[in-house]
Structure 1
């Protein structure tokens, strides 16, 4: 084969190998991972109310948390590009394959919302809407987190109202779909006394909706008579993650670290009040970036949803929830591990180097062979 033909063949092989690895790691890899996931069957669910079977079609909800879109101050441009591409491809693939009716994001949408300027905030919001675009068939519900508006000592009304205006959200609200009540609660800041008033009013509305008697319930909002599912950014109070297990739990060296009230988890007092007010059949929370299942007071289950960002975890995931008015079922959908992507790229790089080395050695051997042949002919003459 002519020498230029060999070079073209080697170049084509190199481009094919590199292009195939890039296409697989940046696009195709999300499909086999998410295809393994399926909506759980609600008839096998926990959490039925008074033994009643599900009496309405289940709502299919996708729940994720802590996307932490990097900002202009602390976010390196390549880190932003890489993480946002990963989350966008994972989210869009999940929407296309799973088709949820509603998507809940449990706060910490942004990493620097607590101090971002107007221009930086507008840019962060624009990127979020691009990444998490969705059809009209899917409802997107966003909760506020401490990184969106600041921790308790950093927060003010301007940051809170800026967030609520963009996402059409409030710190405390109710979403009802197919007879399923979902109570949404954000950061739980102590300066927002009006939020506590809203929580008390909402709990009264829900409790009155469950009662057959109207005593003391005049003028309350009527909701479907089902115990709510409570979604919030901060977990309810727990000492640590020592009892958490599974591949998405906190690393073993961190599980026994004690949580700080009002920083890592809600205070004992606030947690108990929320349980007494709402008596939820399920609590879903974020903030810790790790998965965990906790049972409060031996009757209120809470599931912590891990971070959706590869910047925070090697194995991000999200929750698939099938919820009816009588019961619910949860399953976890794991996304491709970052170590797998790094391994594919590393293996591809090694193969490229090997192919180039073999080609160089082959060309060098060919030149030596030709030189020896020419030298032999010269001596014979």
Structure 2
């Protein structure tokens, strides 16, 4: 991870770490930068997380005045949704189930911190409430579906290129010529 790669990501995606959409608060976390090793990128990510925590707490309290929440913009009163690309710490997949769960024989294999999952300490930085959590899964398409989509797209592109270069007659032009041929005057 480098500053260049982070800037490239932010150029394409929303650079805001905290945003609200349809009354829900979303927190984007660079989970790779949460290992606490003191690097420049890690320090910045931790500072952003503290600022987000402050803003969420101020919005929850909904108090204005001369205190530390005076200049903080209010957010909708909703529990935040954590968006990240690296899994939070857990010992193994032993408690996981569902169609995307690991095979039964692999569920008991322990994960390595900082390799398979975030470290225990880093995972505690992203916690939202001490008593509740929620999980939503976003399934990826099956590999066969992706390959079939690519093949269909490549086939259509080839046909379009052949029609454009006039090596293959256009089906629309062919239909028009047939209509003109049998047209009575």
Q: TM-score range by the shorter chain?
A: 0.5 to 0.7
**1:265 and 2:117 aligned:** yes
Q: Does the C-alpha gap of structure 1 residues 205 and 298 become closer, same or farther in structure 2, counting only changes over 3 Å?
A: closer
**TM superposition outliers: structure 1 runs of 4+ over 2 Å:** 212-216, 301-306
Please say if residues 62 and 74 of structure 2, whose CA atoms lie closer than 8 Å, have aligned partners that are also in contact: no
Higher relative contact order (CA 8 A, sep 6+): 1
Give me the TM-score of the superposition, normalised by structure 1. 0.33
Unaligned runs of 5+ in 2: 149-185
Superposition pairs for residues 363-378 of structure 1, below 5 Å? none
State the number of aligned residues: 140
Unaligned runs of 5+ in 1: 1-154, 280-296, 315-335, 342-381
Please say if residues 235 and 304 of structure 1, whose CA atoms lie closer than 8 Å, have aligned partners that are also in contact: no
Q: CA deviation at 1:266?
A: 1.6
Q: CA deviation at 1:303?
A: 4.1
Equivalent residue, structure 2, for 1:162: 8
Give me the TM-score of the superposition, normalised by structure 2. 0.65
**What is the RMSD of the two structures over their aligned residues, measured on CA atoms?**
2.6
Aligned partners of 1:224 and 1:173: how far apart in 2? 16
Equivalent residue, structure 2, for 1:256: 108
Q: Does the C-alpha gap of structure 1 residues 181 and 160 become closer, same or farther in structure 2, counting only changes over 3 Å?
A: same
Equivalent residue, structure 2, for 1:208: 58
Superposition pairs for residues 131-150 of structure 1, below 5 Å? none
Equivalent residue, structure 1, for 2:142: 310
Please say if residues 56 and 75 of structure 2, whose CA atoms lie closer than 8 Å, have aligned partners that are also in contact: yes
**1:217 and 2:69 aligned:** yes
Equivalent residue, structure 1, for 2:133: 300
Q: CA deviation at 1:197?
A: 0.7
> Per-residue CA shift, 1:111-148, capped at 9, x if unaligned?
xxxxxxxxxxxxxxxxxxxxxxxxxxxxxxxxxxxxxx
> Per-residue CA shift, 1:267-288, capped at 9, x if unaligned?
111211221xx43xxxxxxxxx
Aligned partners of 2:23 and 2:79: how far apart in 1? 10
